[in-house]
Structure 1
Amino acid sequence: MTFFDLMRRNAWRKRLRSVLLMFSVGIAFLIYGLTASFVSGSQGAAGASDNLLGVFNKSGRGLPLPFAYLNRIAADGDVAAVVYTARMRGFVEVAKNVVVVSAVDPSAIAAANGKELGLTPELIAALEEGGDRVLVGRALAEAQGWSVGQRIGVTSQVMKEDGSRDWTFVIAGIFEGADASTDTYFMLARYDTINAARARDKDTVDAFVVRPREGVSSGLLAARIDALFANSAAQTRTQSEKQFLEAFLRQFADVGLIVSLVVGAAFVTILMIAVNTMLFAVRERRFEIGVMKVLGFSGGRIIALILGETLFIFAVGGVGGLFLAKLATLSIGPAFGLVFSAEVLLKSVAIIAGLGLLTGLLPAFSAMRLPIVNAFRSR
């Protein structure tokens, strides 16, 4: 029997106890995987850009900016591309089924943000075919069960000139996004069509998206753009995509702190349970530990044996919990902004190793320091 076989057999000595402990570890890492994926997706750790800039109204993101700002921003030599967007919120069929329509210029969005959204020339051409055409993100299309060529109706907060709030579109294509972390839970429409039909805020936009030229500091360019409109009626605040997402979430709560507290509580609880369980398991095997010492097992090998058992239990339970978290992000991730990134996986592996070693230290040193005479007296 190899050392690994001995460690594995000891870990499975009490199968029900081992399974329950692994289950507890799995639940803890399922919680961690989901919460960490939420932070990774919602705060832009995995997909948000530090270089792509958003120009918003300084007084509030919901307030409009004049369309005329476009030419002044584009005139800056450090701007590679700029596109405007007017967001229109609404719902499909029932009020709870909320969707967002971003009205843009097709060619401009392709130049400024086409790579991140996965906008191919074919998709842009399809959007330009008619004023009622829209491109739908993959996440939104799957959630709604939509397909290319389907006619959809959106009841919006934006009123049309005829007094109606009902907007009708035809799905011209579905864009995928550059990777799994890209937000595709919205649709793209033509700005000229939306602007001509709406009753209020004509010739205004909600934001400008700016791509700096290669080698240009996004922070310096953001400051220069804001300086252009410092004395205007509608001053601007320019932020990177990542900065905006983090600031937006902080308006509601410190998500990182909340996640840390929840996960910390789960891990402290499981640590206490696991340490107590392993101490009890070592007490049950006092006689066997004494026999191993008589046979020549050194203190270091006994420590390695106990630590190996705890690592085995945490590895099996942790991998199971992370696997379930990964499945959850694949199924509901696009709708809820969950991104199970490589960073989340690496942190999880490190936590599994750290908790496994920490849990086994006290039982391992207890077994190492056990006198042989005392061990034999336990029989």
Structure 2
Amino acid sequence: MTFSKLARKNMWRKPLRTVLLIICVAVAFLIYGLTASFVAGSQGSSAASEDVLGVTSVAGQSQPLPIAYLGRITSQPDVETVGYMTRLRGFVETENNVVSVSATDPARLMAVTGPQLGLTPVLIEALGGARDRLLVGRALANANGWIVGQRITVTSFQIAKQDGIRNWRFEIAGIFEGESTSTDTYFAIAHYDYVNASRALAQDTVSAFILRPRAGVSPSELAVQIDALFANSATPTRTQSEKQFLEAFMRQYADVGMIVNLVTGAAFVTLLMIIINTMIFAVRERRFEIGVLKTLGVSRRRIMMLVLAETLLVFIVGGGVGLALTKLATVLAGPAIGLTLTPMIIAKASAIIFILGIATGALPAFNAMRTPIVSAFRTR
């Protein structure tokens, strides 16, 4: 009887109890995997660049900036390329099907973030055929079943046309894939001129400027320079990296990171209490066997390691099942709701599995190690 085999035998001594523990662990890590994947997908933490800067109004992203700022930003020697965009948010067919359209200059966008979005000269050429054309991200296209050549109508929440109608009609000219699976492609790209010429209010303004520093230029230093340009203007700016920009956008609705930490923290604390209590009773049931092992010369340290190995096995199996279910969820529903299971999430989950496995087994293992042989034999 080897050490690992004895640990497995002890683990499956009561199959129903073990299965229930594994289910608890799997659910806890499924919650962690889904919430962490949502944060990674929604905030673009895995794909967002620190080198791409976004310039918005200091009053908030809902406050537009004059497009006349473009010339002053472009004239800065440390700026390599500059783009701009106006966000048109609305719905297609039903109000629950929310769609975000970035109205921009396609050529400028291609120069700034084209490779990251998976834009190609062929797609940009297809978009240039007519002003009412747009490019759709792969995730958005898959979620709605859209194809190239299809016409859609986006009913805007805020931007109305000059005739008062909020319906914006577009023809899908192409679908961009994104640089990797972690790239956010749940939005569409349209012509700024089309939206700007037709809207009733806030003409010649943009939601944000997007720029890339020249090689060797610190993005943080350039951000300070840009904000200093407009510090005394009617609409001062706030310049942030793409990652900071996305995180700030999410915080308009909720502090997603804090919510995730609270939810997963509560799940893991509950899990610790359940498994520690269960393992204490499991070790207590085996006091006589522990006494026999000590009588046969098994060291106290080896008995402690045996109990720790048992709890660690439960966490490895349960955590593996939870992460496998998370991966399945990201494959099936990830593109639609923005779930991205990154290697960093898997690495953190693996570390948590090891730490919790040791932490939950520490007290039962310590009790087993200290159990006197005479006291153990009195249980029979």
Query: Please, what TM-score do these two structures have when normalized by structure 2?
Result: 0.95
Q: How many Å separate the matches in 2 of 1:71 and 1:64?
A: 16
Structure 1 position 255, deviation (Å)? 2.9
Q: How many Å separate the matches in 2 of 1:105 and 1:251?
A: 26
Structure 1 position 194, deviation (Å)? 2.1
Partner in structure 2 of residue 298 of structure 1: 299
Give 5+ residue unaligned stretches, structure 2.
none
Partner in structure 2 of residue 97 of structure 1: 97
Structural mapping, 1:124-273, within 5 Å: 124-156=124-156, 157-273=158-274
Q: How many Å separate the matches in 1 of 2:359 and 2:233?
A: 60
Q: Aligned to 2:96, what secondary structure does the other structure show?
A: coil
Q: Which moved more, 1:176-185 or 1:333-342?
A: 333-342
Q: How many Å separate the matches in 1 of 2:212 and 2:231?
A: 21
Structural mapping, 1:280-319, within 5 Å: 280-319=281-320
Q: Aligned to 1:221, what secondary structure does the other structure show?
A: helix
CA RMSD of aligned residues (A): 1.6
Cα distance change of structure 1 residues 79 and 159 upon mapping to structure 2, 3 Å threshold: same
Deviations 1:253-281 (A, max 9, x none): 43333322222221111111111111111
Q: Which moved more, 1:47-56 or 1:153-162?
A: 153-162
Cα distance change of structure 1 residues 259 and 163 upon mapping to structure 2, 3 Å threshold: closer
Deviations 1:303-353 (A, max 9, x none): 111111100011111111111122222333333333221111111111111
Question: Quick one: which amino acid aligns to residue 229 of structure 1?
Answer: F
Aligned partners of 2:58 and 2:235 also within 8 Å? yes
Q: How many Å separate the matches in 2 of 1:362 and 1:201?
A: 65
Structure 1 position 170, deviation (Å)? 1.2
Q: How many Å separate the matches in 1 of 2:348 and 2:334?
A: 19
Deviations 1:126-169 (A, max 9, x none): 11122221100111111111011111112223222344322221
Cα distance change of structure 1 residues 186 and 44 upon mapping to structure 2, 3 Å threshold: closer
Cα distance change of structure 1 residues 256 and 155 upon mapping to structure 2, 3 Å threshold: closer
Partner in structure 2 of residue 78 of structure 1: 78
Structure 1 position 10, deviation (Å)? 1.0
Question: Quick one: which amino acid aligns to residue 259 of structure 1?
Answer: V
Q: How many Å separate the matches in 1 of 2:247 and 2:166?
A: 32
Cα distance change of structure 1 residues 60 and 272 upon mapping to structure 2, 3 Å threshold: closer
Q: How many Å separate the matches in 1 of 2:109 and 2:279?
A: 59
Structural mapping, 1:356-367, within 5 Å: 356-367=357-368
Aligned partners of 2:26 and 2:321 also within 8 Å? yes
Structure 1 position 216, deviation (Å)? 0.8
Structure 1 position 251, deviation (Å)? 4.0
Question: Quick one: which amino acid aligns to residue 213 of structure 1?
Answer: R
Q: Aligned to 1:9, what secondary structure does the other structure show?
A: helix
Deviations 1:84-106 (A, max 9, x none): 11111221112222211111111
Structure 1 position 74, deviation (Å)? 0.9
Percent of paired sites with the same residue: 63
Q: Aligned to 2:94, what secondary structure does the other structure show?
A: coil
Aligned partners of 2:142 and 2:336 also within 8 Å? no
Structural mapping, 1:9-158, within 5 Å: 9-156=9-156, 157-158=158-159
Q: How many Å separate the matches in 2 of 1:70 and 1:134?
A: 23
Q: How many Å separate the matches in 2 of 1:263 and 1:47?
A: 23
Cα distance change of structure 1 residues 139 and 73 upon mapping to structure 2, 3 Å threshold: same
Q: How many Å separate the matches in 1 of 2:258 and 2:194?
A: 44
Q: How many Å separate the matches in 2 of 1:24 and 1:7?
A: 20
Q: Which moved more, 1:288-297 or 1:252-261?
A: 252-261
Cα distance change of structure 1 residues 292 and 227 upon mapping to structure 2, 3 Å threshold: same
Q: Aligned to 1:88, what secondary structure does the other structure show?
A: strand
Query: Please, what TM-score do these two structures have when normalized by structure 1?
Result: 0.95
Deviations 1:166-201 (A, max 9, x none): 222111111111122221111101112222222332
Q: How many Å separate the matches in 2 of 1:227 and 1:121?
A: 35
